[in-house]
Structure formats: C-alpha cells, structure tokens
Structure 1
Amino acid sequence: MQIDVINPATKRVVETLNRSNVEEVNDAVATALQSFETWRQKTSEERGVVLHAIADGIEASATELANLIVSEQGKPLPVAMMEVGGAVAWTRYNADLSQKPEVLEDSEERRVEVHRLPLGVVASITPWNWPLMIAIWHIMPALKAGNSVVVKPSSNTPLSTIKLVDIVCEVEPGLLGFVLGGKVAGEALVTHPDVKKLVFTGSTPTGTHLASLIAKDLKKVTLELGGNDAGIVLANADIDKLASKIYMSAFINMGQTCAALKRLYVHRSKYDALCNALVDMAKAEVVGNGMEEGVTFGPVQNKNQYDLVTSMIRQARDSGSEVIAPELPEGLDGYFIAPTIIKNPPLELSVVCDEQFGPVLPVIPYDDVKEVMKDAIHKEFALGGSVWGEESDELDWVVEQLDSGTVWINNHAEVLPHIPFGGNKLSGLGVEFGVEGFLENTRRKVVSYSKK
C-alpha cells in the first residue's frame, strides 16, 4: 500500500511513498539496535560533538527542509523557517547537556552516586502539525542519552522527517531510522521487544491505546496528548499591550498547536475591546499558499481536520453565536479556513468543550473570576493554561487554581528547550525538555561505595 502526501494548499499529491510492512519495521529496529551497541559506548562529550554536527547539517539544509514543510504541512514559509531554526537550537541545547553522575552523599561512611544509562532503541511517533520540530524534540535527547531511534512520522507529513533521517545518518549511519504507515507499522514498532521506550505526541485516544499495548513489558513512555487550553483575561488587563500576544497564542500555526490558547474567558469590562482587537488582527492576515510571498496564514493541514473545524464553526453559527471571520480570497483550492472569532458561544458547544485544533477561537465573557474558574478548568485535559493581567491577588489566585502542566502569565504556548513541558490529567504522561525531560530517556543506576 502507498501513501499520497498531499499539499493542503492545493490538494495535489506532492509525493507517493510506500507504507512499511512488519518485516521492514523489524529491519529498522534491528539496524537501530546494532547502531546502539556502538553509540552507547561513546562518552557524553563525543555524542555532543555528533549532535552539533547534525545541527550543522540541519542549518545547511534549512531552505530545503522549510520548503518540504510548506509543501506537506501548509504553513507559510517564514513560519517553516522558524521551525527549522528551532530544530537547530533544540539540537544544540541537547548536545551540550551534561551527563555527570549525581552525588547524593559523600561522607566518611559512603559515597553514593546516581548514574544514568541509555535505554536502547527508542520509538518516536510524531504528528503533522510541527513535523520537523516535534521529531527533533523526540529524537535529540534520546540520542544524547546514548539511545538509537526509529521514528514514525505522520503519514500526512513524512517528507521533512525523512530528510532529517538522511542528515543524521550522514553524520552517524544507522543511528536514526524511519518507518511509514498507520496502525500496522505503529503497533509493530511500539510492541517490538527490542524497543525500550515510546515517545508519542498526538491524540489522547491514540496515546492511551499505544500505552496499553506496551504495558505488559513495562517499556518507558512519554506521552504529550490533547489539550483544550483556557486563557483568563482579568479586569485589570491592558488590552492594548496584550491583544497581539493573545491573538498569536491562539492562531499560531493556524491554531494547530497542542498548547495553543483554545478557549478565552474575558472579563466583561474588557470583552468588546479585546474582541474588536482580535477581529482586526484576523482581518489583517493574508491567507493563501504558504510558498507565496506575503502570505501570513496558510491552510488547515488535512481534510479530516478541515471538516471537523468547519463543522464546529457551523454549529456555533446555528446556535446563534456571533461568528466573525474575514472573507477568503478568491481562487483558493485548499483546506483554507479564515481566522475565526466566535463571540459569546454557549458553553456546551463543541468548539468550547472539545479541542478544535484549528483557526477558531471562542471568546466567552464573565463577571466573576471565581465562578468562571469552574468552567475554565477542564475535567479531562490540563496541558496549558494562562492568565492575563497586571500583578494582583486575583492573578495570583488564578495561577494557584489552574491545574495544567504549564501556567503562563501574560503569555501562552511558549516552549523552551530548558523548561520542562508536559500535561496533567489526560493531556499526557511524563515531560519533555530540560534536564527532567532528558532523564526520561535514561534508566537510573545507584552506585554506593562503602568507605568502611
């Protein structure tokens, strides 16, 4: 069977690739295991040198990678270049991480150290929204820890990942492999007895299913799953100062970001001013093919997501909510949805209750922050959350109440290589980034030296 990679701006086939069968998955794992036996013997410093060389290769291929991202994912070229730049920065950060033993005690009686050992072959399964960046997030800390990796990119966006594999293998052959396909390849990969860890970014149902498959042999697992992030704008918020950051937090990558701001609760005194500002920013976007100069807003990545988001917008309009969006330019023939603001939607609407993962933002007025907190805290998801306003006891109270893995103040959706990131509740298991995320790619060995 084959995979057609579709350009979402044109609905045309970019490239046709073969799906991996079980035998090919087994071969990829076998190659990675053989590479691991050599790679694990290298020092942390030697692995760091290799990762810097990989970063050099990504930089040298920046234009090609960005063009691949635009053709398969749809985002505007400047955003794709930003994604490549982030991939370089994340690779270099991991290259420089230290792996020195942690000393827990050094007394007259004993010296106790914690050593960190690699796991073996790591399976990475990545989504279609940030195809290169999320692959880097999975792969580079695993490699620095001494593991090898087999990655299965989304069938919608495999091209930039395949190029990344080529770049890595030019520096260190066999260290990173890939397989393609859906359920067959994915399940064969994660259940393979020589795979010792799964790192997955995607939907909660898929993540929990994969985790159930590997529970019997106790593989390590890191899951970054769905979210329905809420932002709360306080009565003391400076709308002129914050509106553009709120807009970008919601509509970055056409809203197709796990930790994007997806529900916005605004104090009634600031409601009209903020809604008007958001609508003006939406109208200023230039919607079109991401390869065209001047385009700032691309399509939704695939038909399924397009159908889901448009159905949410239609339901909101049918409910009597005010749906505000600029007209799309004539002549577009892709999965385009204009950046859409939904004013005062009923709280039971799907666009409020569920993760839309697209360019639509419900904006909900409130009068009492303590009352609205009951709606803002989601029963199932807790990836990110934010509060917007000046320093106050009320702001501190909101920060205390929000139960998400990350709470931002006057910001949202910002992730950094040195800051741990992960979700609570059904939004994930474990963390990525920083030292804490790096250590999830290792196994602990305590060494206790008796001095008497």
Structure 2
Amino acid sequence: MASNKAVFSPLDFDIFYNVIDGELSSTQNNVRYGINPFTLENNPAVPVISLHDVNRAVEAAERAAKLWAKVPWDERVSAIGEYANAVEGKAEDFARLLMKETGKPINLARQEINTCVEYLRGFCQLSLPSEVIEDTENRKVVKRYTPVGVVAGIAPWNFPVQLLCMKMVPAVLTGNAFILKPSPYTPYCSLKFAELAQRFFPPGVFQALSGDNDLGALLTEHPNVQMVTFTGSISVGKKVMESCSKTLKRVVLELGGNDPAIVCADVDPASVAVKIASAAFCHSGQICIAIKRVYVHEAVYDAVLATIVEFAKALKLGSGEDAFAGPICNKDQFERIRDLLLNVESTKLTVATGSTKPPSDMGGYYIIPTIIDNPPDDARIVVEEQFGPILPLMKWSDEADVISRANNTSMGLGASVWSRDIDQAERLGKQLQAGNIWINTHAEIQASAPFSGHKQSGLGSAMAVEGLKACCNVQSVYTRPADGTA
C-alpha cells in the first residue's frame, strides 16, 4: 500500500498539471502564467483550478487518508525516503526551474532543493509513539495520536518547495492525505514535486492544485478538509484562521516576522557585520526569518555600519554562480518595497549606501541593497516588515532599553544576540519575545527543532515532534479488566 505501482513518464519540466487522485489534470484553456523575475518574461502556462476539481481532490484525499492511516509507520518512512532520493536525483532540474519562478541565483536555488531533501529525511528520524500514562492491575491509560484526515497546505512564494516539505512531510508521515496549494506566483516546482511524488505514494495521498488567490478560500472553507497549514502574511493568516473557524479546522500559521539583531559592545565588528548582512540580504531579504532590524551598541556602531556598507556595496546581483542575490520575486512585492523606499526618501532618512530607486540598467525586479543609518524607532522601515533588501541600523547603550525596543512589535518570529560574552547573550536572549532565538548566528532551523512564532507571527508549530502532533488528534484510551476476569 505504500507505493503507487503505475508506470510514469519522465518528468517534463516545460508542461505543468494539477495532480489529482494520482493523475495529471489540466484545465484546458483556463490557465495563467507566472513571471520570470530576472527577465520579466512569461513562464509556462499553469492550470487555474475550478471548484469541481477542488471537490474531486478532497474526495480523493478522504479515500486515501482512510487507507494511508492504516499503513505502518515504517512503510510511510520508507516511501518518504524513496521520494527524497528521487528529488535528490532531479535536484539540478528543480533548481533551474526554481530560479525562473522565484528569482533566486542558482546556488541559492540549489540550497533550497538540498534543504528539502534534508527535511524529507530529517522528519523520518522522528517518531510519535503511544505513551503509557498508567499501567496497573486495575487500569491502563494510554495516550496516542491519530491522523486528522485531510490536510491542506498553503505555501508562500519566497521558499515554495522548502515550505512545501515543512508542511507535507509531517502530514503524510503521521498518516494524513495532503493537498498543496502553491502560491500563484511560484507554482512550478511545487507541481513537479507533487507529480514526482505519485511514484511513491498511493493516489490521493499527495495532491497539488494550481490556481489564483480564490483557491485558498475554497480549501479553508471546505467542510471535508480537517486541517490547514499556512505560511504567509499576518493579514492573510487572520483571514485563513477566520475561514477555518467556521468548521473548527485545526490550523497552523507561520506568519510575518520583523526579526531584530542585538549587537553587543564586545563583538569583532568585521566578522559579525558580515554574518548579519548575509542574514539580512540573502534572497534579497525575502525570508521570514531574515534580520530586519539591527540594534548595534554605540561603542561599535560606526565600525559595524562601515563593514555592512562595504559588504552591501560589493554584493553581486544576478542569476549566476557568483551572484549573492537576485531580483524581487514578483511585481506586487517589488512595488511594496519601492513604496517603502519612497517613504525613506520623503522622510529624509539617512541612506548609508544603496538607493531609493531601482537600478536603471537591470531588466528584472531588482532593488539595490540599501542601508539606513540610525532611523527613528517609529520609521516605517523599522516598524514594518520590509521583506526586501533594505536594512535599518540603530544605536543602543542600555540593555533594558534595547530589549524594550526589540520587543516593541506585534511580531515575534525570530531574534538574535551577538556577543563574545555568552552569559550576556543568553541573558538578553531570554528576554526577547520570539519563537526562535539565535546566539551569534541567525536563521538556522532544522527538522528536529520546533519552529513557531510568538504574538502575531504564528500559531502552532511546523517542525519537530510538535509539528507531527499538530497534524494529529490526541486520544486517551482507558482500559479496565472485563467483569469476571482475574
């Protein structure tokens, strides 16, 4: 039961289909086109799903979930492991495709595919066994976890397949059927991931539906979807939660972040500044746990600022092997970042390097990496999550004050502290209100560690054993001897 024995054609990375009930499905003339952020040319056509097809997919998932839940854990692990090997075997094809839809340089695209393989294998090292709470002569009490049934995953455009794996693997590993809705901006790799998966999972266990923004509501409102796992903006996350509340669906939300980095007085400015700038400008800042605000102790502020400025000036933009970052992924985000830069200009903030205008000599959605020198705490570039290559640096001198400033946000996804004094770093870190705290590093995550947000940055967990439990109903079983037995 743990594999689909049908014969499949080789993956064609130029033609894209929905994956419904183990089969490739088109929508004939109802298609849309993504945009290549490097060239602004159309990517290939992808289907736009209908309500009829959503219902077909949910019905297939319901059938598959009942059977897949009965497949032994070890067989599910084996299927996921074989799938991981297949993804790894097609890694370069996937990376080249990922470039065209996200604007990632080739090495960053390869890194995302490699991370997917790590997640596929890493989750399979976890387990979720039953737990005996009490076992006496008169009574046995066991806690166990049962799959919820049909799980819908709504993935974002910035890391479409990495987030797909974060959602799909816990759901499928714990015995659920999974339906993916990729972002309309970046559906291509996701559809091919699902197509490849049909070789290893029974029909209906892993499906993928391409569509426009209306597709999300069709899944969150569907009465026969039991759980939704969503990654995206806070505003959309609230709508997802409201929609799910109508049928009391389980929901996991990983939402926006405005991650602060606190740099202490004892750091080596040169080495720390490069690490911070790398964590801020990777993928042109389009990472939920990228560093978004930097608070630098006044004793080293000038030195850190100077190093980050030189780093930003030297960054190579483009798609090649030597490129550090590419363009912004899509026009909507590009225009949002341009609006923030216009605000920087109109409020006369100090631009240490970069520009408030896009480069005129590059054809894609490029934004020049830009550093803002010591803006006020109420500046938009400090308060809002920029999700782009604009980084504000601010001075601090008092620990209590910098903690208050770092925590003064409705978001709480990640935060980091940089110091040679580990006691100081841990003391500051314990006071930061975020789901992920890093000391002398930033943005490291792994399948075995929980990943969640505090405050309005999320609800629930998407990684580790906590992520497995999120895809299950917990069940307590009480057993007593039958009457008349010894």
Taking structure 2 as the reference length, the TM-score comes to 0.89
CA 38–262 in structure 1, closer or farther in 2 if over 3 Å, else same: same
> In the alignment, what sits opposite 1:244?
274
CA deviation after TM superposition for structure 1 residue 39, in Å: 1.0
Asked if 1 retains the 8 angstrom alpha-carbon contact of 2:337 and 2:388, the reply is: yes
Aligned CA RMSD, in angstroms, stands at 1.7
* Per-residue Cα deviation, 1:145-185 (whole angstroms, up to 9, x for no partner): 00011110000000000010011112123321122223421
User: Deviation of residue 214 (structure 1)?
Assistant: 1.5
Is 1:295 aligned to residue 323 of structure 2?
yes
> What residue in structure 2 maps to residue 369 of structure 1?
399
Q: Secondary structure at the match of 1:269?
A: coil
Aligned to 2:143: 114
In the alignment, is the contact (CA less than 8 A) between 1:202 and 1:226 conserved in 2?
yes
Q: What is the DSSP-based 3-state SS (H/G/I as helix, E as strand, rest coil) of the residue aligned with 1:258?
A: coil
Once the two structures are superposed, residues 203-241 of structure 1 have per-residue CA deviations (whole angstroms, 9 ceiling, x without a partner) of: 111111111112132111000011111111111222233
Letter of the structure 2 residue corresponding to residue 377 of structure 1: N
Letter of the 1:364 counterpart: M
> What do residues 94-149 of structure 1 show as CA deviations (whole Å, max 9, x unaligned)?
22322321122234443322111111110000000001100010001100000011
Encode CA deviations 1:299-335: one digit per residue, 9 max, x unaligned.
Answer: 0101111111122223223333221345887742000
**How far does residue 250 in structure 1 lie from its aligned partner after superposition?**
1.1
- CA distance in 1 between counterparts of 2:292 and 2:430 reads 20
| Partner Cα separation in structure 1 for residue 134 and residue 283 of structure 2 | 48
Residue in structure 2 matched with residue 160 of structure 1 by the alignment: 189
Please list every run of 5 or more consecutive structure 1 residues that lacks an aligned counterpart in the other structure: none
Q: Distance in 2 between matches of 1:303 and 1:392?
A: 43
Matched, 1:335 2:384: no
Match among 62, 72, 77 for residue 43 of structure 1: 72
Partner of 2:90: 61
Q: Find the residue that maps to 2:122 and give its secondary structure.
A: helix
Cα pair 1:316 1:345 within 8 Å, conserved: no
**Cα displacement (A) at 1:37:** 2.1
For residues 42 and 59 of structure 2, what CA distance do their matches in structure 1 show? Answer: 32
Q: Does 1:387 align with 2:417?
A: yes
Picking from 40, 43, 47, the partner of 1:14 is 43
- Residue 379 of structure 1 deviates from its aligned partner by 3.3
1:395-410 mapped onto 2 (5 Å cutoff)? 395-410=425-440
Who is 2:310 aligned against?
Answer: 280
Pick one of 193, 205, 208 that aligns with 2:238. 208
Distance 1:316 1:301, change over 3 A: same
Question: Amino acid of the residue matched to residue 337 of structure 1?
Answer: I
- Indicate the SS of the match to 2:300: helix
1:438 partnered with 2:460:
no
Give runs of aligned pairs for residues 413-452 of structure 1, distance below 5 A: 413-450=443-480
> Is 1:343–1:363's contact at 8 Å kept on the other side of the alignment?
yes
Matched with 1:97 is 126
Partner of 1:225: 255
Q: Residues 334-361 of structure 1, C-alpha deviation per residue, up to 9 Å, x if partnerless?
A: 0001221111112221110000001111
Q: Is the 8 A contact 2:147 2:176 kept in 1?
A: yes
CA distance in 2, matches of 1:366, 1:319: 22
Contact 2:359 2:367 in 1 (8 A): no
1:392 CA drift (Å): 5.6
The 1:98–1:395 alpha-carbon spacing in structure 2 relative to 1, beyond 3 Å, is closer
Higher helix fraction: Structure 1 or Structure 2? 1
Q: What secondary structure does 1:150 align onto? A: strand
Q: Distance in 2 between matches of 1:183 and 1:286?
A: 34
SS in 1 for 2:45: strand
Amino acid aligned to 2:188? L
Q: Which residue of 2 aligns with 1:304?
A: 332
**Equivalent pair of 1:287/1:298 in contact (CA under 8 Å):** yes
**AA of the residue aligned to 2:56:** D
How much has 1:80 moved relative to structure 2?
0.7
Which of the numbers 61, 64, 70 marks the counterpart of 2:99?
A: 70
